Each structure stands twice: as structure tokens, then as C-alpha cells.
Amino acid sequence: MLRTCSLGIALVLAVGSVSAQQDEAEQVKARQRISMMEGTLERAVSIGADNLLRQVRAVMPDAPMLSGIPEVRGFRLDGYGVFFDVEVPALRLPATWPLRYMARADRNLQILAADLKMLIKQIDAQHQERFAQVIRRLDMQAQGLITLQASPGSVTSQLAPPGSARTPTPSMDPRLLDDPNQAYTREVKAALIDAMIENSGPLAVGPEEWLTVAARDNLPRDPLVPGDTADFSTVIFRVKGSDLAGFRGGRLTLEEARGKIEVREY
């Protein structure tokens, strides 16, 4: 009787040990999956930044810099799903960035002066001299921005008057010139959304659970730094596991899955 009892206890202990080992192994695998997603989200931020910097380099010899590297930390919340905290490096514009606006203003003045020169020929002689004086003032304002001889490819070389040798500026989204920080935000948001949809399969988010990503600046804004005007501090993205499963199962297109992601900005 005593021996039977001992064997039963030993069996229970053995089963408990195996179960504990299995639980530990599953926890390790779950942590590894989260770690893989952390790397994926870090790369997504880098891809968004690269997309923006590539566009800027097309119009400026001095590229912006990032304040650091992206960092991501993820963990599972029982009864809710999986949460990732993403630190996004801030975009630092070069000191020469305002010259882009000077260049654009200069070209607009030159175009306006050229148009008026064409129109003056159609004006009667009584008003020609007055118009000629206005045109001369516009010419002086336009040429006044050109104060240095610029080397090829430099910022000031883009201020050269019409007819001079100049590499054409490639076509690009004008919103980038108006607000590069906002363009940076758009690129990073798009890259994070696609990473959530396309790379979250191994996380095994349940149908009623949420995959949540909180993207935030990795340093506070500095009011003394020119161009430090990022248009968001924190953006929360979240999507239900059932929608992710719908994309993986082919029931939702990528565009439809993007529409399922909830986005909130703070």
C-alpha cells in the first residue's frame, strides 16, 4: 500500500515537472516571437526614415539627421493582446534648409519679372516707363538673393538666374518642402502599419485580442532648435486579431486591412 502511494506521488511529480518544462519552453518561444517583431518594427521605422531622407537628398545637398536609432519594447497583456512601445528618432533639419524657401521665392520673382517684360511690350507708351521701373525693382530683389558664387551642387547654385547651367530639380511632393517633419511622420506611420499587418502572424494574436503599437518621439521637443516641429508626440495604432487573420487568410486585401487599423494621435 505504501509503495503504491509512493509510486503515485512520483508519477504526479514527474507529470508536473514535464508540464512546467513545457510551459517554460512555450514562454521562451513567445518571448522570441515578440523579440522578432520588435526588430521588424525597428526596421519599419528605419525604412520610413530612409524614404524621407532619399527624397530630401534629391533637392538638398545637406541631408537631415536623425536624433538616434529606433527602439522597440514589446510584451503580452493577458486578456488584451500584444503591446509594443516604439521610440521614433526625431528629424533634425540642416541649418541650410531655409535656403530652399529662398530659392523658391527667388525663382518666383524671376518668373514674374520675365512675364512682366513680355507684357510691357503690349502696354501703350504712356505707361511703359512706370512698368519698367517696377520690373527693375523686381529684378533687383530676385538678384539680391544671389550673394555668393556657388559651387556645383550646392544650395546657392539653385538660386542661379534663368538660362544658367543648372541640374533640373526632380519632381517631388511639394508637401515635403513645406513641412518635412510632417512628411517624415507620414512615412513612418505607413511603414509601421504595413509591418503590423504583414509580419504579425507569429505573434498568434487571438481573434478578440488586439495588436497595439504606440509610436512616440524619443526626446522632447527643443524650442531653441530651429525646425524642431514634429507634428505628433504619440500615435497609437491597434488592430484586432480577427482582422489580421482575415488578411492572412486572403479575406482582406492589404488596403482593406490598412483600413481596419485604428489610429489615434495625442
Domain ranges of the chain: 31-95+174-265, 98-159
**Buried-state track 215-245, b at ≥16 Cβ within 10 A, e below 16:** bebeeeeeeeeebbebebeebebbbbbebbe
Beta-strand ranges (E) seen in the chain are 65-66, 71-77, 81-88, 91-92, 210-217, 234-240, 262-265
Average pLDDT over every residue of 62-80:
88
- How do residues 182-228 score in pLDDT, each as one tens digit? 888 999 999 999 999 999 999 989 999 999 999 998 765 555 555 55
- How do residues 115-163 score in pLDDT, each as one tens digit? 666 666 666 666 667 767 766 776 666 555 444 334 444 444 443 444 4
**Res. 230 pLDDT band, cuts 50 70 90:** very low
Q: How far is CA 5 from CA 10, 11, 32, in A?
A: 9, 10, 41
Q: Indicate the pairing of strand 234-240 with strand 91-92.
A: unpaired
Average pLDDT over every residue of 69-74:
94
pTM higher than 0.85, yes or no? Answer: no
